[in-house]
Amino acid sequence: MSKGLTDIPGIKVGIVSDPEAATGMTVVLVEGGARAGVEVRGSAPGTRETDLLRPGQMVEEVQAIVLAGGSAFGLDAATGVTGYLEEKRCGFPAGDYHIPLVPAAVLFDLFIGDGRIRPDAAMGRQACAAATDGPVPEGSVGAGTGATVAKIYGTSHSIKGGQGSAALKHGKLIVAALVAVNAFGDIFNREGGLLAGPRNPQTGKMERTSDVLGQITAGGFSGNTTLGVVATNASFDSTMLTKICQVAHDGLARSIWPVHTMWDGDTIFALSRGDITADVNLVGMMAAEAIAAAVERAILKATSLGGVPACSEVAK
């Protein structure tokens, strides 16, 4: 049975969830190192150390990826992960020191729960200590704790988002994904059916954002961003991992609409942890499929929180 992202040997996932504050974080821990890439498609990102993942940089390996709530404040969680890894002497060797490389990205969840409480360095350490190679926790947990989707009418008329993970296999090749879904847009299943759309303020029934966007003055719909990590046991450098990230974003486009808006900071990381030779086009396609499957799982496994209902509780 698939465990999700942790189907890739050498990868652990740790979460911390604060349902009262409606926030949390997820760490993808690769203490032995993994080559990495990134692609940011949304126009409102909150990130840390993504420049070092561009092709042509001196160091290609990272020791962790952090996904967190708390908007820009939540980037502090990566500091705790860095400290945890330094104590284990993981990272780039520099004289007497080891410098862990920990890229991070955050989503905006301050409008649900207590926005004054955000992921911090202590939470980062806690997530590392909890990391395992067991099944990835899904639903309203980790970075997806305070996630919401379909927010054209505001958070008060949105649907609960969450965290999901999925893995695909082709012979010995494994490609897996983990997402924290906090999109402005609606969520669709892989058959094109609506899973989560904005709740009409009068009827309470789901609508489609694409049907009402032109009727509402677009003054800004803050509080969004979907984050993801894809990983494979195939061997790729940062250039090819960047390409895999680009194709993986098609998985968001298949399951979220609209996506990559001015109000989203959609970011996908990719990790290569293994020595299998594989075609980059195949891996990219599998990454997109895994992302779409993970998005669907995140919404279906989410539970109501802070007055925001899960999709199963709303009339369509």
Instruction: Please report, for the domain that includes residue 182, its CATH number.
Output: 3.60.70.12
The position carrying tokens 């993981």 is: 90
Closest Cα partner for 67 from 57, 77, 58?
77
Task: Please report the pLDDT score of residue 233 as a whole number.
Answer: 98
86 token code pair = 């330094």
94 token code pair = 């520099």
Residue type, 96: D
**Residue 236: is it exposed, middle or buried by C-beta count within 10 angstroms (0-12/13-18/19+)?**
buried
**Contact, 47 vs 267, CB < 8 A?**
yes
Whether this prediction's pTM lies above 0.75 is answered by yes
Paired strand residues for 268: 39, 228
Domain of 24 in residue numbering reads as: 5-313
Residues of the chain with confidence (pLDDT) below 70: 217-220, 316
**Contact, 257 vs 181, CB < 8 A?**
no
- Return the exposure string of 163-197: e unless at least 16 CB atoms fall within 10 Å of the residue's CB, then b: bbbbbbeeeebbbbbbbbbbbbbbbbbeeeebbbb
Four-point Cα dihedral 17, 44, 161, 246, nearest 10: -100
Task: Please report the pLDDT score of residue 50 as a whole number.
Answer: 95
Q: Which SS3 state, helix, strand or coil, does residue 62 take?
A: strand
Q: State the total domains in the chain.
A: 1
Which DSSP category does 157 fall into?
G
Distance CA 283, CA 175 (A): 7
Q: What share of the chain is helix, strand, coil (3-state, %, to 5)?
A: 30, 30, 40
Task: Please report the pLDDT score of residue 59 as a whole number.
Answer: 87
